[in-house]
Each structure stands twice: as C-alpha cells, then as structure tokens.
Amino acid sequence: GTGCLVKAVETAAQREAFIVGKPNRYMFDCVVSEFNIDPARTIMVGDRLDTDILMGNSCGLTTLLTLTGVTTLDEVKGHQESACPDRQSLVPDYYVDSIADLLPALGD
C-alpha cells in the first residue's frame, strides 16, 4: 500500500529501498534469531495472499488465510489451479471465513 511513497523517496534519495516488511523474509529471520522459533511449528495467519501467505510460504510456515480481508476463495482457487509457480506460492494451506472460527480450537 505504500509503493508510491517508497518510489518517491527512492527517487529523491537516488537509492533503492531495502524492504523489510511482508512478504520479505527479513522480518521473520530476525524474529527466528531472537526467539529461536521452529518454522515447522509455526503458522502464519493473515488476510492477504500477496503479503501474509506469500511470506509464510516462503519462510516454510504453515499458512492460514482468513477471508475477512481483500482475498476471496475464488482467487485462491484460481492460484491453486494455475501451473505458474509464482501463483502457487500464494496458495494457503488452510482457510477460515473469520479469525473467530479459530476460537474453539484455542480453548483446548
């Protein structure tokens, strides 16, 4: 959402920005090194394919999409049916209609 502002700063500074936010794995690598997190036991929950799910998949995490954001299930199915590896990297492992759907599982 801030691409235009980043481009303006890059132009003014005559330098390319180093992006540390999603979907770049830099942020996750910092968290892993600080808290000794095991990616195989970590789940990325998010509502956007091109940031949250892409980051989770590129970091080797299980991914869970909530359909409360901009992403639709039809969009996910389109990526899933595609033969394009870039589109496949946007497919979550699981999805729920709402984050509230997880509350019963957290009570156990």
Within a domain: 20: yes
Distance of CA 33 to the CA centre of its chain: 19
Entry pTM = 0.85
Where in the sequence is the domain holding 7, given as residue range(s)?
A: 2-102
- The per-residue pLDDT for range 26-39, each reduced to its tens digit, is 989 999 999 989 99
With vertex at residue 33, the alpha carbon angle to CA 86 and CA 49, rounded to the nearest 5 degrees, is 25
Within a domain: 73: yes
For residue 63, the cross-strand partners are 44
Within a domain: 82: yes
Three-class secondary structure of residue 54 per DSSP: helix
Within a domain: 108: no
State how many domains the chain has: 1
CATH of the domain at 76: 3.40.50.1000
Within a domain: 107: no
Q: Which residues of the chain have pLDDT under 70?
A: 1, 108
- The answer to whether the CB of 58 falls within 8 A of the CB of 23 is yes
